Amino acid sequence: MKQRTLAILKPDCIEAKVTGKVLDKILAAGFQIAGMKLVRMDEETAGAFYAVHRERPFYRDLVNFMSSSQCIPMVLEKEDAVEDFRKLIGGTDPAEAADATIRKEFASSKQNNIVHGSDSPENAEVEIGFFFSDAELISTG
Ligand code: ATP
Ligand code: MG
């Protein structure tokens, strides 16, 4: 049974022009794209997306970063998509991320870490609804 997760290619991914390379890795790992769009979040939207981190010291910088430029949210489908995508992207800090992960290969700092991935199936559903309506998603079967 396939599961869905929400990924976001963050502003640093697009600015570094590695969108294609990151997408190649995602597709090669067996994920299928059920929805994808280009967005420019304002501070309010980025703040709402990461509201769970509201009290953290890095919150203001994170909101500024995520609203600084374009992002590409996408809905990915695969068996165990949530857990497998977290494995593919690696730990938050690229210095500590496992070898061959997306963050190890492309990320430049703990904040500028190229990609977001939902951390639970429940949060994936909420985060998918943050960016996509049902009509914008095409199930990959
Ligand atoms: P994401 O939710 O983006 O997939 P994550 O689950 O690995 O990342 P979280 O703890 O949810 O990490 O933090 C959300 C984002 O906030 C991180 O991806 C990173 O961009 C930023 N961040 C987290 N911790 C720090 C920190 N100590 N300093 C700077 N930025 C941070
Ligand atoms: Mg997180």
pLDDT digits (tens, 9 = 90+) for 71-95: 999 999 999 999 999 999 999 999 9
**Ligand 1 contact via 93 beta carbon (within 6 Å):** no
Domain 2-41+72-133 has CATH 3.30.70.141: yes
Strands 115-117 and 3-9: antiparallel
**∠ CA 87-70-10 to the nearest 5 degrees?**
15
Output the pLDDT for position 55: 98
Take atom 3 of ligand 1 and give the residue whose Cα is closest: 116
Q: What are the start-end ranges of the E strands in 10-96? A: 32-36, 72-78
Q: Residue 141 pLDDT more than 90? A: no
**Ligand 1 contact via 111 beta carbon (within 6 Å):** yes
Other CB atoms within 10 A of residue 113 CB:
23
Q: What is the pTM of this model?
A: 0.97
Cα Dmax for the chain: 42
**Ligand 1 contact via 86 beta carbon (within 6 Å):** no
What is the three-class DSSP state of 33? Answer: strand
Specify the DSSP class assigned to residue 39.
B
